[in-house]
Structure 1
Amino acid sequence: MRESLLEASGSQTSLTRGQRFCYRLGMFRKLGFFLLLIWLVPPLALAKEKYQHPGPIRLDRDGEKWAEKTLRKMSSEEKVGQLFMIWVRARFLNLDSPDYAQLRDTIRRDHIGSLAMTVPLDGPFLIKSEPYEAAMLLNQLQRDSKLPLLIAADFERGVSMRLYGTTVFPHAMAFGAAGKLDYTEALGRITAEEARAIGVHWNFFPIADVNSNPANPIINTRSFGEDPQQVGDMVAAYIRGAHAAGMLTTAKHFPGHGDTATDSHLGVARVSGDLPRLQSVELPPFRKAIEAGVDAVMVAHVSIPALEPDPNRVATVSPSVVRDLLKQQLGFKGIVVTDALDMGALTRLYASNLGRAAVDAFKAGNDMLLIPADLEASYDAVLQAVKDGEIPSDRLDVTVLKILKAKASLGLQKARCVDVNAVSKLVDKPENLATGQQVADDAVTLVRDNGKLLPLKQQGTVASGLPYQRMEEVHNRLVAVIFSDDMRLESGRVFERQLRARVPDANIIYVDPRSAGAMSDEVLQAVDQAHQVIAAVYVIPTAGKVAQAANGALQNSVAMADASGSLLQKVLEHAAEKTAVIAMGNPYLASDFPAIQNYICTFSNATVSEISAVKSLFAEIPLRGHLPVTIPNIAQRGAGIERQPLTARGGPNHVQLQSSVH
């Protein structure tokens, strides 16, 4: 454009005055139009790129036509590929890198229809990623896929469960303790908004399991509680919130994983209740989920003798459970998805033929096959079963059409990529952060209080120059022992910062299972000298975690490790009256320590719960949480000592939400 203007101005010398006037007038008009265009284009471009909220899930006639037309064009190989969901680890990948090429080629070769987004691993540790990394990677995979990909994730505690820079929420049991359905609905809505912003469409939540077994090593605080009615109400509220913001939901782990004592990541968990108990305890939350319009149900790798007498048929591969109970008796019409097929409960039963597990799961009534232990063997086995007629072609078509319609209900046939520029406006909103903190605050439950320790008082920093003995005494006015596990090295860091903001000279000691024995004398000496003691215990359910107990047995992942538990017992023997124990996760741990005189439950190790725990110690927030579970020999469900704050809370982080249920 600049060159053409210069050429035009250079030709003016041969023109008359009138011609030059007309020429200049024309040039001014052109220039004015050009400037007007420059002024208008940015708003138009922004309007085009402006993020359009997906809105409620809706399958219109155009979407149905797309699904039906797409199905007619698909080969058997492509149809089988739509059944499988594989991992994608959200991280930065150069598009020419071998890692990206392998992922892209797997999707293309096996016609994969869905991805489960998680994050990279460093040994046993999950390394959280950033929202932009996730959004950019998922966008590129969508571009490189022939058909739109359905992206799912385990966002049980919101997107922050996998990604930094997103809204933090506590575990589900904290919502049960807070008892407000509006909180759970907000969790669904906010999670959906943030997930859709980065390109994730489907959440493997809510958990409909009723945690009736205190020894359950894998559900525990992931459940809303032990009361089927409350769990069902919470499940329905979550579905409402998620649907309003355009996200698919999953009720899991059918027909119930709450009354088990085995981690199904490691072995077969057994649900031993009879049929009347299943009907009255395990199944009601799933019925509520179906009534609320849940999009999918995830089937667990559990043994249920009341429904399936064959011990080698876990629920995932049992037609009696999936086809007869879920689809026919409960009338579920949505997507039935297996729990991960690479979990130990299933791979042990199919060790000699992993591909057969996928065939049996599909024949039992499952629609989608999640994370096969051997993708190639599973894909080939299912395809061969289709070709041999073992899997009827019409059954395959019904399932694939169901999956395609789910994609169309999300509008993926029209827009499969997200606007990365909109992420910063949609994720980590201040008002959402305040909601997450409010939930954690309201969940804090005071279970025991001897009236001699709480609340603590804030203390200023003591000036230096005191004799060493006096400084040591000041240092030990408040001793906080943070019991972490060996899986989460960050445990207690936020708790420490919050505590030091109020008591700068507090003596804070970190203990983990490897150091507990060696540090015993040091800890007990500090405890003996202390005026007040806080024991913050970080124990939460961890998938596949195995700890070796002193007697050689495999230890429950929600029990304290032997060395740590022994040290806590000694602390209570020395100073129970001046010690407050805070359960930063598993509330049942108090059953192993009946000498506890002051006991607080937060039901989560999330950073918001760490903040709430410290605020509760200093009576900065009202204590109004109630136990959503019974702690054997300690307290019944519904227990909770209520306290009013000593200081006004107020401020912009105060969120008013109504609708209580306990």
Structure 2
Amino acid sequence: MINIYNPLAFLEAKNTLSLREKVGQFFMPAAFINDSEDEIQELEHLIKISGIGGLCFFHSRASAATNFEGKKKIVYNAEGLETLKKLIQRYQKAAKHPLLISIDAEWGLAMRIENTPQYPYAITLGASGDTSDLLVEVGRNIARDCREAGIHWNLAPVVDINNNPNNPVIGYRSFGEDKRNVAEKATALAKGMQAEGILTSIKHFPGHGDTATDSHLGLPVIGKSKEELYENELYPFIELIKNGADSVMVGHLSVPALTQGKTGSSSISKEIITGVLRKELGFDGVVISDALNMHSVSKLYPAKGELEWLAFDAGNDILCFAEHVKEGIETILRNTPQRRIESSFKRVWHLKEKVFSTLSKNTRPYMDESELNKKLAYECLTLFQDNSPKLDTTSEVDYHAISLGKKQDNAFFNRIAEEVGFTTISDDKDCIFKIKSNFKSAENILLALFPPKVKPQNNFDFSDAQLQWIQELIDTKNVVLYLFGNPFVLNMLNLKKAKTVVVAYQSFETFQMVAAEHFLGKFEAKGKLPVTIAR
């Protein structure tokens, strides 16, 4: 095995790989933090016999990324980070050539691993104004956490434009609906990660925002013209490529305007990868497929190795979540000219050289996670609606504070209660019918909504009874509403009679405390909603 911290040995190693070993470098199967010992040993064996180039880490085989969301129980692992570090060491030890370790850490390792730092979702950051410096710091902090765990490649940022409120998989992962805002925020985040020696990947080319289909489960169709795509969806990709994107991830999307009217996934389309991305946009870096296990493509190609070959032949250099490594290697070797293999190998090995032949040296301290999140909370908090007269926040007003949705330690109410007296109640303790009877005579309502889910399916998991009662409160009381979640929740309500509506976006304690300061009149909201909500 090559010592990954010996730059000379690593640089010289590329001249020793056989053609078969070079093809092995294109494969990046999944690794799971919560695997059993038998499953770990099976992956170690695959690493040894197939000479794969890297691994992409996921939480468990029951996660959304493995198409089993809601079908299998996801087990909480308080020791997930330590488990991840140990597994990376084991898998690196099994490899002849250093593995490139990747993960989806769009808002930090917390996207995949419990008890790790979490930063705001992209949709939250999209609400901030000119905060490039803060977003660079977010990128630096995420990169540090990745590097300390043994990860080299963060498959982020998302540069999809959030222009479909019913998007089941992108939504909150996008910086918003404005192409320039998306490009600026993503550029700053990527700049921070790259400054700390972590590779980035912009995704999901050519744009996954305007669809209501989850590509984990079905193939979304983007029906826009080529001119429309270049004007909007492709804009952030073009800008980040100009700014030195390390790699581009191609999504599983059908985009007929870019394929002469043909249907089929962009992830296996020569017209889109080799034609648009390589030739028209001039991108010569690494192209990585979106996870090849996703049902939008995997169900269409049951023959082992066929999908891997099609993805490579279309122009992908790295095959993420490849499920049939041995068969894929054989199929690529059988069907591919050597010059094509060599060109992809050159790009992949260059990416590895970028990581392994240099050691990142931090030259300045990192911003504390809590302090950084606090600064972001102040910048992002958004006053969506403010109908006069405002509710009085003095102790003379008889307030009734209601919390609905996800069970939550309510730092928001606790902070306000230090200065304003009110009665509090939440639906995780009392049924709605009991709450309604107790609140019949109440006039002034402070309503805190904590959506059970960040994704829009099943009304964010609010029950029909909850939504009906929320609407009844808005229509009949003086309601000040604070939303600690996805702003698209507001599309489910008629807000015309609400006195005040504020979007705090996150339910972090820090964001709740900042929201409380806003309610108490200690600062004015500066955020701007990054997506359109019907009023």
Specify the TM-score bucket, using the shorter chain as the normaliser: 0.7 to 0.9
Which amino acid in structure 2 is aligned with residue 101 of structure 1? Q
Preserved contact between residue 119 and residue 126 of structure 1 (Cα < 8 Å)? no
User: Which position in structure 1 is the counterpart of 2:48?
Assistant: 108
Q: Partners of 2:495 and 2:306 in 1: how far apart?
A: 52
User: Which position in structure 2 is the counterpart of 1:507?
Assistant: 424
User: Which position in structure 2 is the counterpart of 1:438?
Assistant: 375
Which amino acid in structure 2 is aligned with residue 102 of structure 1? E
Preserved contact between residue 109 and residue 145 of structure 2 (Cα < 8 Å)? yes
Label 1:149 to 1:497 Cα distance change in 2 as closer, same or farther (>3 A): farther
Q: 1:384 aligns with which of 330, 353, 371?
A: 330
Preserved contact between residue 7 and residue 358 of structure 2 (Cα < 8 Å)? no
**Structure 1 position 158 matched with structure 2 position 158:** no
Which amino acid in structure 2 is aligned with residue 593 of structure 1? L
Q: Helix, strand or coil: the match of 2:384?
A: strand
Summarize deviations over 1:215-258 as a string: whole Å, max 9, x none: 22221121111111111111222222111111101111110111
**Structure 1 position 88 matched with structure 2 position 31:** yes
* 1:640-655 aligned within 5 A: none
Preserved contact between residue 174 and residue 443 of structure 1 (Cα < 8 Å)? yes
Preserved contact between residue 479 and residue 527 of structure 1 (Cα < 8 Å)? no
Q: Helix, strand or coil: the match of 1:102?
A: helix
User: Which position in structure 2 is the counterpart of 1:285?
Assistant: 236
Q: Partners of 1:253 and 1:128 in 2: how far apart?
A: 31
Q: 1:480 aligns with which of 394, 402, 417?
A: 402
Q: Helix, strand or coil: the match of 1:183?
A: helix
User: Which position in structure 2 is the counterpart of 1:520?
Assistant: 432
* 1:349-360 aligned within 5 A: 349-350=300-301, 352-353=302-303, 355-360=305-310
Which amino acid in structure 2 is aligned with residue 534 of structure 1? L
Q: 1:72 aligns with which of 9, 15, 25?
A: 15
Summarize deviations over 1:400-425 as a string: whole Å, max 9, x none: 23222212111x2578xx9xxx9xxx
Summarize deviations over 1:481-500 as a string: whole Å, max 9, x none: 2213xxxxx65555566566
Label 1:248 to 1:592 Cα distance change in 2 as closer, same or farther (>3 A): same
TM-score calculated relative to the size of structure 1:
0.71
**Structure 1 position 305 matched with structure 2 position 305:** no
Preserved contact between residue 91 and residue 137 of structure 1 (Cα < 8 Å)? no
Q: Partners of 1:494 and 1:181 in 2: how far apart?
A: 28
Q: Helix, strand or coil: the match of 1:298?
A: strand
Label 1:619 to 1:346 Cα distance change in 2 as closer, same or farther (>3 A): farther
Q: CA deviation at 1:521?
A: 1.5
Q: CA deviation at 1:349?
A: 2.7
Larger radius of gyration between Structure 1 and Structure 2:
1
Q: Partners of 2:411 and 2:214 in 1: how far apart?
A: 29
**Structure 1 position 538 matched with structure 2 position 451:** yes
Q: 1:185 aligns with which of 132, 136, 158?
A: 136
Q: Partners of 1:586 and 1:457 in 2: how far apart?
A: 30
Q: Partners of 2:260 and 2:464 in 1: how far apart?
A: 37
Q: CA deviation at 1:623?
A: 1.2
Gap regions ≥5 residues in structure 1: 1-53, 55-61, 460-473, 485-489, 548-556, 635-662
User: Which position in structure 1 is the counterpart of 2:94?
Assistant: 144
Preserved contact between residue 450 and residue 507 of structure 2 (Cα < 8 Å)? no
Preserved contact between residue 148 and residue 413 of structure 1 (Cα < 8 Å)? no
Preserved contact between residue 341 and residue 369 of structure 1 (Cα < 8 Å)? yes
Q: 1:582 aligns with which of 479, 482, 485?
A: 482
Q: CA deviation at 1:171?
A: 0.9
Label 1:250 to 1:457 Cα distance change in 2 as closer, same or farther (>3 A): farther
* 1:368-379 aligned within 5 A: 368-372=318-322, 375=323, 378-379=324-325
Q: Helix, strand or coil: the match of 2:435?
A: helix
Q: Partners of 1:619 and 1:604 in 2: how far apart?
A: 20
User: Which position in structure 2 is the counterpart of 1:256?
Assistant: 207
Q: Partners of 1:270 and 1:358 in 2: how far apart?
A: 22
Q: Helix, strand or coil: the match of 1:73?
A: coil
Summarize deviations over 1:92-116 as a string: whole Å, max 9, x none: 98xxx43432332232233222112
Gap regions ≥5 residues in structure 2: 63-71
Q: CA deviation at 1:144?
A: 2.8
Label 1:240 to 1:102 Cα distance change in 2 as closer, same or farther (>3 A): same
Q: 2:351 aligns with which of 392, 403, 406?
A: 406
Q: CA deviation at 1:394?
A: 2.1
Q: How much identity, in percent, do the aligned residues show?
A: 28
Summarize deviations over 1:587-620 as a string: whole Å, max 9, x none: 1222331235121112334444333333332334
Preserved contact between residue 169 and residue 608 of structure 1 (Cα < 8 Å)? no
Which amino acid in structure 1 is aligned with residue 373 of structure 2? G
Q: 2:270 aligns with which of 316, 319, 323?
A: 319
Q: CA deviation at 1:137?
A: 2.9
Summarize deviations over 1:165-186 as a string: whole Å, max 9, x none: 5443111122121121112211
TM-score calculated relative to the size of structure 2:
0.86
User: Which position in structure 1 is the counterpart of 2:177?
Assistant: 226
Q: Partners of 1:310 and 1:355 in 2: how far apart?
A: 27
User: Which position in structure 2 is the counterpart of 1:24?
Assistant: none
Q: Partners of 1:296 and 1:233 in 2: how far apart?
A: 18
Which amino acid in structure 1 is aligned with residue 31 of structure 2? V
Q: CA deviation at 1:126?
A: 6.3
Q: Helix, strand or coil: the match of 1:282?
A: coil
Q: Partners of 1:586 and 1:98 in 2: how far apart?
A: 39
Q: CA deviation at 1:444?
A: 0.6
Q: Helix, strand or coil: the match of 1:619?
A: coil
Label 1:541 to 1:505 Cα distance change in 2 as closer, same or farther (>3 A): closer
Preserved contact between residue 337 and residue 369 of structure 1 (Cα < 8 Å)? yes
Q: CA deviation at 1:156?
A: 0.9
Which amino acid in structure 2 is aligned with residue 255 of structure 1? P
Q: Partners of 1:290 and 1:64 in 2: how far apart?
A: 29
Q: Partners of 2:183 and 2:276 in 1: how far apart?
A: 18
Label 1:311 to 1:497 Cα distance change in 2 as closer, same or farther (>3 A): farther
User: Which position in structure 1 is the counterpart of 2:166?
Assistant: 215
Q: 1:242 aligns with which of 169, 178, 193?
A: 193
Label 1:573 to 1:242 Cα distance change in 2 as closer, same or farther (>3 A): same
Q: Partners of 2:505 and 2:403 in 1: how far apart?
A: 18
Q: CA deviation at 1:312?
A: 4.5
Label 1:267 to 1:354 Cα distance change in 2 as closer, same or farther (>3 A): farther
User: Which position in structure 1 is the counterpart of 2:66?
Assistant: none
The number of residues matched between the two structures is: 516
Q: CA deviation at 1:128?
A: 5.9
User: Which position in structure 1 is the counterpart of 2:216?
Assistant: 265
Which amino acid in structure 2 is aligned with residue 224 of structure 1? F
Label 1:321 to 1:445 Cα distance change in 2 as closer, same or farther (>3 A): same
Q: CA deviation at 1:477?
A: 4.0
Q: CA deviation at 1:282?
A: 0.4
Q: Partners of 2:216 and 2:289 in 1: how far apart?
A: 13
